[in-house]
Amino acid sequence: MNIYKQIYRQIKKYNTIVIARHIGADPDALGSQFALKEIILNLFPEKKVYCVGNPASRFKFFGNSDKSEELETKESLLIVLDTPDIKRIDNINIHNFNYIIKIDHHPFIEKYADIELIDEEACSTSQLILEFAFINKITLSKSQGEKLYLGIVGDTDRFLHEYTSIKTFRLVTKLLEETKINFTSLYKNLYRRPLAEVKFEGFIYQNLTLTDNGVAYIKLTDKIMKEYEVDSAAAGNMINNLKFVDEIIIWVFLSEDIKNNLIRVNIRSVGPYVNQIATTYGGGGHKYASGVKLKTWTEADKLITSLDELSKNFKLM
Ligand SMILES: [Mn+2]
């Protein structure tokens, strides 16, 4: 049987369903999560459906997460979205569930679910939920359409990244035709930001270090972020804006997170695949977009050196 239909059949079977996502929630994780919750409740109003994960104040638009305590039972179905490995699942212990479904578009890392729908060609998990809805002939509401649209827009950066495909446009067209959402009015939910953040972005551009091998990086200390009144997640939100710069092949934002005693590293590339190095340093992600959390600046320097080597070899090819 078609995997999308198998998933539908499992959803039908369970009275209680918990939907989880990855840590560091982004529009795709949230959009797919809250849209799926609404889709299930629309079809089966008697079911209990919960979304778990730490709140993302920046993206309140998508909805509020439920408390995960007492939700972990053998009788419930767990659906994990947008998360390739167990360690990145946000705030739920998967071992307390008997049956798990994974729906994801990241490169495969490990099997942890009974049904694993992985499509690395898909631009986003929201696209997969959209496909799930269409294959199962589910009519989408405006609210569901808006969430899935923003999930797709978020992960593709407005249809800019290579994972954007004809299929993406086909599905999105169908979404727009069927739900008639006012999509241009939605962008503010993703792109509005305080002036302090724009000024901080200016600081980053002014202070980037560029190596001979085309690696641009910046170390953002807690002190500098306090000065600009932004948090350690702010840099991650603006990293994609350096995609089209002549001199840059790989770029890296490193931001100190005093509260959690770590350094958040965001890596992007327009040349070599960076996810392997990210994995070596305990992180992961996509070929051209990865992330790592490090403990020390010494490790950070090593990572930059590794990426510089990678870029050097790429240039020689
Ligand atoms: Mn995603």
Span 105-129, pLDDT tens digits: 998 999 999 999 999 999 999 999 9
CA of 176 from ligand 1 middle (Å) equals 20
CA of 96 from ligand 1 middle (Å) equals 25
Residue 211: band (very low, low, confident or very high) from pLDDT cuts 50, 70, 90: very high
CA of 298 from ligand 1 middle (Å) equals 30
State which fold the 195-316 domain adopts: Diaminopimelate Epimerase; Chain A, domain 1 (3.10.310)
Considering all CA atoms of the chain, what is the largest pairwise distance in Å, rounded to the nearest integer?
61
CA of 125 from ligand 1 middle (Å) equals 5
Instruction: Kindly calculate the radius of gyration of the chain based on its CA atoms and give it in whole angstroms.
Output: 20
Q: Is the predicted pLDDT of residue 153 greater than 90, yes or no?
A: yes
> How far is residue 128's CA from residue 124's CA, in Å, rounded to a whole number?
7
Domain residue extents for the chain: 3-189, 195-316
Q: Is the predicted pLDDT of residue 70 greater than 80, yes or no?
A: no
Structure token digits, residue 289: 């977009």
Q: Is the predicted pLDDT of residue 269 greater than 90, yes or no?
A: yes
- Comparing CA positions, the residue from 126, 129, 120 lying closest to residue 162 is 120
pLDDT at 286: 85
Q: Is the predicted pLDDT of residue 161 greater than 90, yes or no?
A: no
Lowest mean pLDDT among 120-129, 130-139, 181-190, 223-232: 223-232
CA of 278 from ligand 1 middle (Å) equals 17
Q: Is the predicted pLDDT of residue 300 greater than 80, yes or no?
A: yes
pLDDT at 55: 87
CA of 77 from ligand 1 middle (Å) equals 21
CA of 207 from ligand 1 middle (Å) equals 30
pLDDT at 84: 95
β-strand partners of 81: 103
CA of 29 from ligand 1 middle (Å) equals 6
Please indicate whether the domains covering 3-189 and 195-316 agree at the CATH topology level: no
pLDDT at 58: 84
CA of 118 from ligand 1 middle (Å) equals 12
Structure token digits, residue 176: 């727009």
Superfamily holding 3-189: inorganic pyrophosphatase (n-terminal core) (3.90.1640.10)
Decide: residue 298, CB within 10 A, 0-12 exposed, 13-18 middle, 19+ buried: exposed
Half-sphere exposure of 199 (CA within 13 A, CB side): 10
CA of 155 from ligand 1 middle (Å) equals 6
pLDDT at 207: 98
Helix (H), strand (E) at residue 297? helix 297-316
> How far is residue 283's CA from residue 266's CA, in Å, rounded to a whole number?
10
Residue 14: band (very low, low, confident or very high) from pLDDT cuts 50, 70, 90: very high
CA of 156 from ligand 1 middle (Å) equals 9
- In 3-state terms, what secondary structure has residue 196? helix
Q: Is the predicted pLDDT of residue 140 greater than 90, yes or no?
A: yes
CA of 227 from ligand 1 middle (Å) equals 31
CA of 128 from ligand 1 middle (Å) equals 10
CA of 109 from ligand 1 middle (Å) equals 15
Please tell me what DSSP assigns to residue 89. Answer: B
What mean pLDDT is predicted for residues 251-271?
A: 95
CA of 28 from ligand 1 middle (Å) equals 5
pLDDT at 316: 85
pTM assigned to the model = 0.88
Query: Above pLDDT 90, what percent of the chain?
Result: 88
